[in-house]
Amino acid sequence: MEVKCRRLEGKVAVVTASTQGIGLAIAQRLGLEGAAVLISSRKKKNVDEAVDALRAKGITVVGAVCHVSDADQRKNLIDTAVKNFGHIDIIVSNAAANPSLDSILQMKESVLDKLWDINVKASILLVQDAAAHLRKGSSVIIISSIAGYNPEGALSMYGVTKTALLGLTKALAAEMGPNTRVNCIAPGFVPTRFAGFLTTNETVKNELIDRSMLKKLGTVEDMGAAAAFLASDDASYITGETIVVAGGTHSRL
């Protein structure tokens, strides 16, 4: 994809869970618009491969291994960004987990703990770790989900944790303004490995397409474009908001 605008020249971005899927697409778009990018993942092999792929596109990028629930690895993530680039302008909290398809009433406590730990708590701790290094005019972007508006079926508890991120966005925006803007993206259903159990089932896939006013699934590039907008000065008067990128799929609490 050719990107002609360079709205993020001189900016430094940290993106979690960014070696594939939506996270990688966001890192790529930010980099193509001029940002230096720090990508991360739990597996070093994935980090190294993604760094090579992004550098091949002319993007300034470094990588770090980071499991977002590991305090030492989170600290190293932030330290690596500051060591390599001197500061941070953009944080994208993208890591998520959906370890069980059980209903809420059937879900084990250990699974509930993991859902809250990865999907909500880690975003808070990441921002706490990064806050001292964010420059004036910085931007925090939290990745929620359309499931946050419609927590149902196999995504019910996952959806509830994503609903919490909508409130977290409002609360952090109030705390971090006026120097830092905090916004959220709620992606619709996108064919990625993470969502593969939905998008590879033709019956379910067609149902999801039918829910969309545009009658199609989204792409990872759609999410990258939304993130680049929110990170840029084009969104300089937007904070505390959630942009739903879901083709018109119903999105009201």
Query: Residue 133: pLDDT band by 50, 70, 90 thresholds?
Result: very high
Backbone angles phi, psi at 5, to 5 degrees: -85, 150
Is 20 a domain residue?
A: yes
Active site residues: 158
Q: Give the tokens for residue 42.
A: 């739990």
Give 41's pLDDT tier (boundaries 50, 70, 90). Answer: very high
Q: Which two tokens stand for residue 151?
A: 């927590």
Residue 251 belongs to some domain of the structure = no
pLDDT at position 60 is 98
Structurally, how many domains does the chain consist of?
1
The whole model's pTM is what?
A: 0.95
Residues 115 and 133: their CA atoms lie apart, in Å, by 28
Residue 252 falls inside a structural domain: no
- Domain membership of residue 66 (yes or no) is yes
Residue 68 is part of which domain span? 12-190+219-245
Is 250 inside any structural domain?
no
pLDDT (tens digit, 9 = 90+) per residue, 95-109?
999 999 999 999 999
pLDDT(195) > 70: no
> Does 210 map to a domain?
no
pLDDT band at residue 3 under the 50/70/90 scheme? confident
205 assigned to some structural domain: no
Give me the CATH number covering residue 172: 3.40.50.720
The whole-number pLDDT of residue 196 equals 65
Q: What is the 3-state secondary structure (H, E, C) of the chain?
A: CCCCCCCCCCCEEEECCCCCHHHHHHHHHHHHCCCEEEEEECCHHHHHHHHHHHHCCCCCEEEEECCCCCHHHHHHHHHHHHHHHCCEEEEEECCCCCCCCCCHHHCCHHHHHHHHHHHHHHHHHHHHHHHHHEEEEEEEEEECCHHHCCCCHHHHHHHHHHHHHHHHHHHHHHHHCCCEEEEEEEECCCCCCCCHHHHCCHHHHHHHHHHCCCCCCCCHHHHHHHHHHHHCHHHCCCCCCEEEECCCCCCCC
Contact 46, 19 (CB under 8 A): yes
Residue 213 is assigned to a structural domain of this protein: no
Least confident of 165-174, 199-208, 214-223: 199-208
> Which amino acid is present at 101?
L
Q: How far apart are CA 18 and CA 46, in angstroms?
A: 9
What pLDDT does 181 receive?
98
